[in-house]
Amino acid sequence: MPRLPNVVFVHGSGQSGLSVSYLEVFLPECNLVCLEYKVQENPDDILKRFNLLTRNEFGDESFHIIAHSYGCLISSLFAEKSKRVLSFVALSSPWGGSQTARWISMVFRQSKLFNNVKPNSNFMQDIQNIKLDCHVTNVVTTGSTGSANDLAGLGTQHNDGLLTVATQTNVPKGFSNVETVYLPLSHNEVLLSFDTINIIKKHTFGDTSGTEYFFK
C-alpha cells in the first residue's frame, strides 16, 4: 500500500492550526501536522520546533509545506536548511515586507512581528537572501470586492486588505523554481477557497482536476 504524503501546515500571525481546518476537509488523505507558534517568539526558536516536529512525525522522510502569510517566511527559512522539503505552497506571503508593519512598529516598538516584517529589516533581508531549490507555488491574493485597505496599499497600491500585490510578488531571487498564481481573494479568504484547494491538490498531491485560477 503506497505511503500517504507528509504535509506540514504553518499558519499566519495571530492564527493557529485551526486556520487550515476548511482546506483539510477537501484535501486528499495525507499525514498532516500543523506547526503552532506565537508571533512574539524568536524565529530561531520557531525553526528549532519546526525541525523537532517534522523529525518526530516523519523521521527522515520528506514532506510538503503549505503556509500562509508570516508562516511562509518562517517556512522558507526552514526549507533553505532542510533537504527533506519536496514542495512549498506559499499563500499570501509578505516576501517584500509590510508597509503596514512599518507604521505599527513605530507605536508598538517592542513587537517582534512588526519589527521583523517591516521592509528592509534585518529579518526581511535574511528572507530576500534565501536560496531555495524545491518547487514553490506562490499564491498572490489580489483582493476581493470591498477587501482593499488604503493603509495596506498606502492609498494607491493594489492589496488584499493586508498585503500589497507588490510585496507578495517580491519573491527572493534565490528561489530557483517558482510558479506564481493570482487569486482575486482577500488575505484570509484564501484559506476558504476551492481555488486554493485545487492549487494545493495539484502542486502538493499531483491532482490536476479543477483549474479555475490564473497562472503567470
Report the phi/psi class of residue 16: left, alpha or beta, with left for phi > 0 and alpha for psi in -120 to 50.
beta
Taking the CA atoms of the chain, what radius of gyration do you get in angstroms?
A: 16
Name the phi and psi angles at 107, rounded to 5. Answer: -95, -50
pLDDT for 201 equals 96
Q: Specify whether the CB–CB gap between 112 and 40 falls below 8 A.
A: yes
Query: In the structure, what pLDDT confidence band is assigned to residue 79 with cuts at 50, 70 and 90?
Result: very high
Cα distance between residue 40 and residue 35, in whole Å: 15
Alpha-helix runs per DSSP H in 59-193:
70-81, 99-105, 112-117, 122-128, 165-168
Cα distance between residue 23 and residue 204, in whole Å: 13
Cα distance between residue 201 and residue 159, in whole Å: 26
Q: Which fold has domain 6-215?
A: Rossmann fold (3.40.50)
Looking only at the bridges linking them, the beta strands covering 214-215 and 178-183 are antiparallel
Return the domain boundaries, the chain: 6-215
Query: What is the chain's mean pLDDT, rounded?
Result: 88
Query: In the structure, what pLDDT confidence band is assigned to residue 101 with cuts at 50, 70 and 90?
Result: low
**For cell 512574539, what's the residue?**
40
The model's pLDDT over 3-27, given as tens digits with 9 standing for 90+, comes to: 899 999 999 988 999 999 999 999 9
Report the phi/psi class of residue 149: left, alpha or beta, with left for phi > 0 and alpha for psi in -120 to 50.
beta
Query: In the structure, what pLDDT confidence band is assigned to residue 146 with cuts at 50, 70 and 90?
Result: low
